[in-house]
Structure 1
Amino acid sequence: MASNQLVTTAVKPLSMMKKLSPFVYIYEPESIVTPTTTRLRVPKLIFVASWMDAQDLHIAKYITRYQAIYPTSKIVLAKFVYKESMSPSLAREVVEPAFAFLRSELDAGFLSASPSEPEILMHLFSNGGSTTIRTLYELFQSQTGRPFPLHAAVYDSCPGLFSFSTTYNVLIINFPKGLFRLVATPFVTTFVSCLWIVHAFRFIIGENFMAVNWRVLNDLDLVKQTNRSYIYGKADVMVDWRHVEMHAKEAAAEGLDVRPELFEGSPHVSHMRSDGERYWRIVTETWERAITAQ
């Protein structure tokens, strides 16, 4: 006799969000921030730009925490895949649905194009998230003729500049440890060597995507921020912590309100896992500073 078996369907980590495209998701709570609830001083919208090829299970940990902290805030998630770094046109295509949603929120009056205080909290991860946000800023400027609206930002493990060791580490991690990685090592080394040669001739071929991110994220004609926090670590082998500090110093020199937060022992985009209490305190205090500084 065949036994009755319970058939269970695995719940997808991002099932709480609506999928606008393969790379863009939105979350709209039943109760949202309205003119009558703005006294709560919470973000109307949180924009999360994940790191390269991030797994949904890992991204969801940040989304669900934001839902718990700011239950009335809308959330936009934009993913990043490696091929975007090779093609600006593809990066623009991937970000387009997120821009379209934001523009619809502006057109509907939910968000203001020129708010007196920030309504958006931006949270970006690694060079992938940096590329997403840089592309969003550029797309917004080209399509609307004005910079992205005033906002606060948290930079997790970014931005970084090109270096042989960090680029090698980013690529080799995709191969399982053992024989497979051993076989892949000379090919990855050769590929990164070619990238290094190309980088050496950047005065001929132009900036690489990391250099563009670096420049744009401190371009005050495109970036209108009340303040930003940098969360980074010395144990990060994919983005040099010294690069992050350099960018923070340049931002401060431009007049931006900067908060650098160094984590001693946590690897790349693992600072929340290392010390979640400290991590989310930085995030919430970043937002609180944004709305109290106005």
Structure 2
Amino acid sequence: MAAAKKAPAIPGFTALSEQIFVHRPDLSDGKSVPADDPDVVMVYGWGDCLPKHVAKYADGFRELYPHSKQIVVLSPISRAMFSDLKDRSQWMTPIIDEIFPAGPHAPDAPKKILAHTMSNTGAIFYTSMINAYQDRYHEPFPHQLLSMDSTPGSTDFHWANLQRWSRAMALGTAGWFPWPFVVTQTIWAMALSINGLYESLIGREHAGAWGRKAANNEKYETKSARKLYLYSKEDDLIGYEDIEIHAAEAAKLGWQMDLEIFEGSGHVGHMRAHAVQYWKAIQDSWKRAIAEPGPEASS
């Protein structure tokens, strides 16, 4: 039997799997925990992001909410694209085991959860997790805020999207190969095309397409959770129009939401370029989420 792949290290975190890491804060110092802070913050990194990069977001959340348990998820693009929903959901079950060891209605179960997803790949693994939760407990995932950075984009299979997807995959793997970037992107475009044809032949829905719909499906996403869209018009991998279409669909279905647009920053580059605006948008949306729960949409 092959040995399990060793998880990379993230300082201050314990590996639950090769993808999933947890930081359990020390609450034994006797200091009071702010009543409005999240019990759990979940951070789903963008496709093929390095642990040290997604850790910067965990650091930012820890500055805002130092007493919150943190879950960090790495998001390999190949694992997201070339797998089925059953496998993706199974990979996410350690999160459910960690957050709800005695079930979601146990006295010590977390009451306030903030989920933060980045790019379509991070969103794919988040929606795989809420599918695993639904399969186990037969109810939508309980949380107060879903924050979406540079996602969700269009999942229609056409030339413009193929260029975007293959470029995203090439960005994550270009360092593996000695040839020019355009060659790597072409190889990924061919692989994605073959995979798309295969999925069509076997009747399997594209991971991104399923995830985009699940994020606006009250079977998986509780209506009491607020949504926050963080995006820019300069994003060259995710079209801002696609994000705004998803937000409009969510509003029509009854979700409360906030839209925060950034000037000049690229794909998942908003925090680096506009740190103050970025963290304020999350903090403000969280305050609204816990102060104004309910099904009525706003923007």
- Quickly name the TM-score band, shorter chain normalised: 0.7 to 0.9
- Give the counterpart letter for 2:259 in structure 1: P
Q: 2:72 aligns with which of 77, 91, 100?
A: 77
Structure 1: segments with no counterpart, 5+ residues: 1-11
> SS where residue 276 of structure 2 aligns?
helix
- Give the counterpart letter for 1:103 in structure 2: F
Q: Do 1:159 and 1:244's aligned partners in 2 also have CA atoms closer than 8 Å?
A: yes
CA drift at 1:169: 1.6
In 1, the alpha carbon distance for the partners of 2:281 and 2:217 equals 24
> SS where residue 145 of structure 2 aligns?
strand
Mark the structure with the bigger radius of gyration. 1
After superposition, residues 221-240 of structure 1 pair within 5 angstroms as: 221-224=219-222, 225-240=224-239
Q: Do 1:169 and 1:237's aligned partners in 2 also have CA atoms closer than 8 Å?
A: no
CA drift at 1:109: 2.8
1:159 aligns with 2:169: no
Query: CA distance change for structure 1 residues 244 and 33 in 2, over 3 Å: closer, same or farther?
Result: farther
Q: Do 1:33 and 1:72's aligned partners in 2 also have CA atoms closer than 8 Å?
A: no
Which position in structure 1 is the counterpart of 2:117? 124
Which position in structure 1 is the counterpart of 2:97? 100
CA drift at 1:284: 0.4
| TM-score (norm. length: structure 1) | 0.84
> SS where residue 92 of structure 2 aligns?
helix
Q: Deviations over 1:56-89 (max 9, x none)?
A: 1111111111111111111111222122332123
In 1, the alpha carbon distance for the partners of 2:189 and 2:168 equals 12
> SS where residue 180 of structure 2 aligns?
helix
Which position in structure 2 is the counterpart of 1:188? 188
Which position in structure 1 is the counterpart of 2:45? 50
- Give the counterpart letter for 2:150 in structure 1: S
Identity of aligned residues (%): 24
Which position in structure 1 is the counterpart of 2:241? 242
1:269 aligns with 2:268: yes
Which position in structure 2 is the counterpart of 1:30? 26
In 1, the alpha carbon distance for the partners of 2:253 and 2:33 equals 31
CA drift at 1:241: 1.5
Greater displacement, 257-266 / 274-283: 257-266
Which position in structure 2 is the counterpart of 1:7? none
In 1, the alpha carbon distance for the partners of 2:183 and 2:63 equals 45
In 2, the alpha carbon distance for the partners of 1:241 and 1:134 equals 20
CA drift at 1:107: 6.5
Structure 2: segments with no counterpart, 5+ residues: 1-7, 156-160, 294-299
Query: CA distance change for structure 1 residues 186 and 169 in 2, over 3 Å: closer, same or farther?
Result: closer
Q: Deviations over 1:77-127 (max 9, x none)?
A: 122212233212331232111111122164753325xx5xxx001111111
CA drift at 1:175: 1.6
1:142 aligns with 2:135: yes
| TM-score (norm. length: structure 2) | 0.83
Q: Do 2:169 and 2:185's aligned partners in 1 also have CA atoms closer than 8 Å?
A: no
Query: CA distance change for structure 1 residues 184 and 41 in 2, over 3 Å: closer, same or farther?
Result: closer
CA drift at 1:157: 0.8
Q: Deviations over 1:209-238 (max 9, x none)?
A: 111011100001221143111001222222
CA drift at 1:13: 6.9
Greater displacement, 81-90 / 51-60: 81-90
